[in-house]
Chain A
Amino acid sequence: MNLQRQTYSQTQTGRYANLLLMSFLALFLVLGSTSCNSAKKKAEAEAAAKKAAAIKKATTDLNALLGDESMSADQLEKKLNDIKARKINNPDIAALIKKVEQKVQTKKVSETKKALQDILNDNSLSAAEKQKKLDAIKAKGINNPDIAGLISKVEANIADKKKIEAEAQKKVEKVKTIHDYFGEIAGAGSTDHANTLINDALNLFSSPDANVLIIIAGSGDNADYDKPTTIKKYLNYLKDQKKAPTKIEDFKKDASGKIKTLILRKL
């Protein structure tokens, strides 16, 4: 009987303990679930706020790009790419991005047109320099009929410039020859040798009386000249004075390609 009562008592105690444990578990689950739901909601709210802030910032930045007229197309594009990199999924932002892209494209076209016009108009650039600038523009791959037309014009301009440069190079080569004669005559070791050189050099000229003009100062219409002389006298001057104190500035040729007027500049 005692044994029965003891066994019953033990069983009852175990039931209470289990019941208590289950109650704790249930309470934990209920509380835990409530807490998890609230954190999720909080995170969602934070994310929504963050996205709203990002949209607001992107909207401001994109509108600023649309309103700015001081930036170049490249600068605009760089800033636009920075905004795109934020990857904001929003139809308003996408629309603004499209508008800025159009602005970049328009600006690129106008800048490229101007750059091409500059190449056309700048006569101080060599053909090679013009070609380099044109290649850089072509590499941008801007597809526009106006630009294509201008590129054709620049290409023609470069071709003309190359021809002119080739002519000028021929001139320089000829000038070099005359200049070489000047130095050789001035440095000739004997009168006979100097006279031989003078006779050779005279072959480059239309006649021994071809004009020699020597600029002593200034340039263009404001140039000051020494008294005009002839090539024969000037070559003999180099021989007598044993110096070649001038550099070649320009010359004019006659119909047979010989020099009829030589313009020198005093060093």
Chain B
Amino acid sequence: MNLKYFGRFLVVFLFFSTVSYAQEPELSPERKAAVDSLALEKVRDLSKYISIIGNKETPWSEANRVIERALELFMEGSEIGVSSVHRKKIKYYKMKDYFDHLMLLNYDQVNIEWFDIQYISDLKKQPDGRYVGVITIYQKFTGTTKEGLTYKDVTKKDITVYVERKTTQIDGIKIGFWDVLLGDIRVKETKKG
């Protein structure tokens, strides 16, 4: 008896789900590809910003300016995981704290490089209309002390990406834009570099 009611409920649920999704047309493959590419580019942009902030040769004012730009990429309250091959525990920092910390790392030379940046979970439309996906990156960190000691690791990180379609009017032009925001960056794996 219960199964019978559940079956009916399922049919009704599926019907309304279909109607709900049918109201907003899906993106064409070309537009979807453009949005995918845009989100991926934001992550590549972040990679470059992190590299600039971490670079000891970057002037202080420039580093601070770049931090502001990098923060604009994130949703309010986003966190990033920081790991080390010397400890098991992963520490999570608010993005602003992380960037400030990155700028002041106790190394004479720092080189941070992101590679193999790709989707591990494609952007998918959520019931609230936003698209959410996960992009994975590999970060190669190299820090060299004044004494010439070098620390190296390679960390795999997953970045949640939120994309939302918004509209605005600028200088008489009505535009529909895609607001790409990055969420938490989670450490998945850390190895010696």
Contacts and interface: CB of A to CB of B under 8 A. Distances in A.
Given A240-B66, A241-B45, A261 B173 contact: yes
Nearest to A241: B48
A113 interface: no
A244 B179 CA distance: 21
Contacts of B177: 224-228
23 contacts: A211-B171, A213-B175, A216-B38, A217-B30, A218-B31, A221-B174, A223-B175, A223-B176, A224-B35, A225-B175, A227-B177, A227-B179, A228-B168, A228-B177, A233-B69, A236-B69, A240-B48, A240-B49, A240-B66, A240-B69, A261-B171, A261-B173, A266-B34
Counting chain B residues whose Cβ lies within 8 A of the other chain, the interface size class is 20 to 34
B89 interface: no
Contacts of A241: 45, 48
Given A225-B176, A236-B69, A240-B45, 20 more contacts: A191-B62, A211-B171, A216-B34, A216-B35, A217-B34, A221-B174, A225-B177, A226-B38, A226-B177, A227-B178, A228-B168, A233-B69, A240-B48, A240-B69, A241-B48, A242-B48, A261-B170, A261-B171, A261-B173, A263-B173
B65 interface: yes
Contacts of B35: 216-217, 224
B95 interface: no
Chain B CB count within 10 A is highest, among A218, A224, A228, A237, for A224
B59 interface: yes
Nearest to A214: B177
Give the top 6 A-B pairs by smallest Cβ distance, nearest first. A217-B34, A225-B177, A261-B171, A216-B34, A225-B175, A211-B170
Contacts of A263: 173
A41 B164 CA distance: 102
Chain B CB count within 10 A is highest, among A213, A221, A260, for A213
B55 to A, nearest CB: 11
B45 A213 contact: no
Interface string A226-267: 111000010011001110010000001000000011010010
A224 B180 CA distance: 13
B159 interface: no
Interface string B162-189: 0000001011011111111000000000
A236 B72 CA distance: 14
A125 B192 CA distance: 64
Contacts, number: 68
B103 interface: no
B43 interface: no
Nearest to A191: B62
A237 B177 CA distance: 19
B57 to A, nearest CB: 9
A142 B63 CA distance: 74
Given A224-B35, A224-B177, A252 B45 contact: no
Interface in B52-88: 52, 58-59, 62, 65-66, 69
Contacts of A261: 170-171, 173
Contact of A237 (B38, B62, B69, B173): B69
Interface string B110-121: 000000000000
Nearest to B48: A241
Contacts of A260: 171
Nearest to A212: B170
B178 A240 contact: no
A260 B170 CA distance: 10
Nearest to A261: B171
Contacts of B65: 236
A218 B33 CA distance: 12
A213 B34 contact: no
Contacts of B30: 217
A242 B59 CA distance: 17
B109 to A, nearest CB: 18
B69 A228 contact: no
